[in-house]
Structure 1
Amino acid sequence: MIPSRLDQAMAILAFIVFGGFLGILFGYVTRWDLGIMVGITLALCAWDFWHMATGRKSDHH
């Protein structure tokens, strides 16, 4: 299944908003362990976004 442009735009928007939220969280609570978790979370989110945006993974079974 190839995702539509609207799906891709919504995924990009969601990724930006989520990244902004995590950036604000880390900005106010500056701890190295939280920074590691924020980095891991963003990496996993980016990996999932990439696979959904390129059509390599589908939520439909």
Structure 2
Amino acid sequence: MKNLLAIAAFLVFVGFLVILVVHVPRLDLIAVIGATVVLAGWDLVLNLRNQRNQRD
């Protein structure tokens, strides 16, 4: 259940940032948002992987 909630929160976060990029299409903003999504996605993957390893 926690994994599903974390994935849903990440998707809502990405959705908000996509709306921002659509309304303010600046290259520097797109670069910062891209880096933010990559870092947040990497953190999500590491946390999901860590939770799975702790259950074993």
Same-fold status (TM-score > 0.5) = yes
Shorter chain as denominator, the TM-score bin is 0.7 to 0.9
2:21 pairs with 1:26 = yes
TM-score of the pair, normalised by structure 1: 0.80
Runs of 4+ in 1 over 4 A off after TM superposition: none
What displacement does 1:55 show? Answer: 1.1
1:48 correspondence with 2:39: no
Is 1:13 aligned to residue 30 of structure 2? no
**Match for 1:50: what amino acid?**
V
CA RMSD of aligned residues (A): 1.0
Identify the structure with the greater helix proportion: 2
Q: SS of the residue aligned with 1:55?
A: helix
- The answer for unaligned runs of 5 or more in structure 1 is 1-5, 57-61
Q: Give the TM-score normalised by structure 2.
A: 0.87
Aligned-residue offset at 1:10: 0.6
